């Protein structure tokens, strides 16, 4: 079971990296076209700390994308339960979203 979870986490990490690369490629380094509102699906595996999404939002702002103006981020959190990921991903695809980003993050355990 632990091996399956580890494999799922690695797969999600790889997908997040690929999705971010695709997002940068699709949206480019130029300012977004006027009038278009992009919708990003944010699928989150771990316990949400906000740090990862905050950094993502900051990077998008630097490229000219601002939530509420030309960007909407639809968030879904699996709460660390891998079995919830397929349903959450399907819900995001049904919206539909322009790009789907899958991410994971674990809070460090206190020593």
In a domain, 109, yes or no: no
Contacts of 61 (CB under 8 A, 6+ apart): none
Among residues of the chain, what percentage have pLDDT more than 70?
Answer: 59
Q: What mean pLDDT, rounded, does the chain reach?
A: 76
Which ranges of the chain would DSSP assign to H, the alpha helix?
Answer: 2-27, 51-62, 85-94
Task: Give the model's pLDDT for residue 20.
Answer: 58
pLDDT for 7: 55
111 lies in some domain: no
pLDDT digits (tens, 9 = 90+) for 43-75: 988 765 567 788 888 989 999 999 999 999 999
Burial of residue 54, with CB atoms counted within 10 A of its CB: 0-12 exposed, 13-18 middle, 19 or more buried? exposed
Q: Which residue has the higher pLDDT, 12 or 82?
A: 82
Higher-confidence residue of 32 and 13: namely 32
Please indicate, yes or no, if residue 8 is contained in any of the structural domains: yes
pTM of the model: 0.65
CB-based contact 42:5 (threshold 8 Å): no
Q: Which pLDDT value is given to residue 32?
A: 66
* Number of domains comprising the chain: 1
Q: Where in the sequence is the domain holding 28, given as residue range(s)?
A: 2-103
């Amino acid at each position: 079971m632990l091996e399956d979870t580890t494999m799922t986490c690695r797969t999600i990490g790889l997908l997040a990296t690929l999705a971010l690369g695709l997002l940068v490629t699709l949206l480019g380094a130029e300012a977004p076209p006027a009038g278009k509102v992009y919708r990003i699906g944010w699928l989150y595996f771990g316990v949400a700390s906000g740090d990862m999404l905050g950094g993502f939002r900051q990077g998008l702002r630097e490229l000219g994308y601002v939530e509420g103006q030309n960007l909407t981020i639809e968030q879904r959190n699996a709460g660390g339960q891998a079995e919830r990921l397929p349903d959450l991903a399907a819900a995001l695809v049904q919206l539909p979203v322009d790009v789907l980003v899958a991410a994971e993050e674990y809070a460090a355990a206190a020593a």
